[in-house]
Amino acid sequence: MGSENIKIHEQCRVSPPSGSARETSLSLTFLDVLWLRFHPVERMFLYTLPRPESEPSIFFSNVIPKLKRSLSDALQHFPPLAGKVVWPKESPNPIVQYTPGDAVSVLLAESHAPFNLVLDNSPHQASLSRSFVPPLSSSDSHASVLSLQITLFPNSGFSIGITTHHAILDGKSSSLFVKAWSFLCKSSLHQLSPSLPPNLLPFFDRSLIKPPTELVLNFTNSFTHILTPSENPHGRCLKLLPFPPRLEDQLRATFLLTRQDLDKLRKRVLSKWDVQNGSESTVSSIPPTVSSFVLTCAYVLVCIAKAFEGFEGGKHKFAFGFSMDCRARLNPPIPDNYFGNCVWGGLIDCKPLDFIKEEGFVVVAKSIHGNIKEKLAKGIFHGAEGAYSRFESLAKERIETVGTAGSNRFGVYENDFGWGKPAKVEIMSVDRALTIGLAESKDGNGGIEVGLVLHKHVMDLFVTLFHQGLSQHH
């Protein structure tokens, strides 16, 4: 593990300014409860920092107080983040509750890991950066919502590791919070008490999430046995399920698809649209375009499947599940700054062998595109009642579902705390399952960054396939 590189300076707690936030509680909606015991989402923002600020004495006496003060100011607008997930006896659903005095745990640390290596996109030991994100505490009776770690790399830079409870906030909400915090921190370097612009204020009204009735009944029944473990017959268990990170012989790397790469992939898909049929071949006319999200997922999936195929000779079979933000897609739509979970998943209908076919990329891209189009046409929850049994049957057939985390639309590289934009942003938790981490490219030119953790032999092959596929001119 990389933890021998870490020296803990202080474990502190940061709460909203006293008297600024009243007691609040939010009920969890059905979109939140799905994630109740899912592993937390872990992200790391890396910043380079010039001297003298990156010298330990100055960093801890000068930079840290600014980060802590602005964090406290941000929490006054996001009090649930300082609170806890609890499940009162009289309540049908868990709630998140903030009581004045509640606080966020912040770990202050120093690392002597080589900063250049942590910044590097090429494959390196997956365990290296594990120690830069903090754990999130949970028990049967309650769970924390947010935990932070600020790590100094002396004379080089620092990282902010942020671990969030998925049942309380999705990626968009978590991004909103980091934007608000960085905005307040950067503004406070120039003005005394900056206020947040309206677009960075969270919207907490839960009554806007209207569950489709038949769906909730089906879902609640399917999920009860996950949420109500046999060892706890009262069914009130809030302890997060163990999803241990895969670190043994695993490598972590970041890959970039530039805007030009995506244009090339788009041409390839559209030119072969009519020739290639997926397993659920619906004859659909060639669309005017295919989104960068669809192209990225299809391309990366096919490279992963072929890399496993090359290493294991067809033992591994894949399906693909993805999540999409529904704020603008609900009827009526809900505000962009809605705070909570407003994501719903799609599972594509591809045969496991479609992923390694000659033109697997086109087949998979058509399937993802078709699934999204269908959801937009028939409603986001269309087909949802069968989702749980489909996941179950995939598991029985030993088919691994590759998932996604993050998005190329969150703007994670815009988070400037006053010392410049991030040098790198990484979703650490992609090592807890086979997951494709997504972010917009750092240069802001419309490319997409992909974060992956794979077994080292699979990673070697993946690297080759990824670059080879892009250099083929079709």
Contact 151, 6 (CB under 8 A): yes
- Which one of the listed residues 349, 416, 457, 460 is annotated catalytic? 416
The reply to whether 77 belongs to the active site is: no
Question: Kind of pairing, strands 157-164 and 399-406?
Answer: unpaired
| Rounded Cα–Cα distance for residues 165 and 425 (Å) | 19
Contact 142, 38 (CB under 8 A): no
| Rounded Cα–Cα distance for residues 96 and 164 (Å) | 13
Helix (H, G, I), strand (E, B) or coil at 371: helix
- Angstrom CA distances, 48 to 63, 239, 252, 282, 397, stand at 13, 36, 21, 50, 47
| Rounded Cα–Cα distance for residues 235 and 357 (Å) | 45
Residues 6 or more apart in contact with residue 156 via CB below 8 angstroms: 48, 49, 54, 115
Question: Kind of pairing, strands 146-153 and 95-98?
Answer: unpaired
| Rounded Cα–Cα distance for residues 284 and 73 (Å) | 51
Q: How many C-beta atoms surround the C-beta of residue 426 within 10 A? A: 28
Please give the biggest Cα pair distance in the chain.
65
The reply to whether 457 belongs to the active site is: no
Residue type, 188: S
Instruction: Supply 1's token pair.
Output: 């593990």
Instruction: Supply 384's token pair.
Output: 């949802």
Question: Kind of pairing, strands 104-111 and 146-153?
Answer: parallel
Name the helix (H) or strand (E) containing 187. Answer: helix 171-188
- Which one of the listed residues 77, 166, 369, 455 is annotated catalytic? 166
DSSP summary character for residue 203: B
Backbone CA torsion sign across 219, 225, 226, 232: positive
Instruction: Supply 123's token pair.
Output: 């494959």
Residues 6 or more apart in contact with residue 263 via CB below 8 angstroms: none
Residues in the chain: 474
Side-chain half-sphere CA neighbours of 299 within 13 A:
30
Residues 6 or more apart in contact with residue 467 via CB below 8 angstroms: none
User: Among all residues, which ones are annotated catalytic?
Assistant: 166, 416
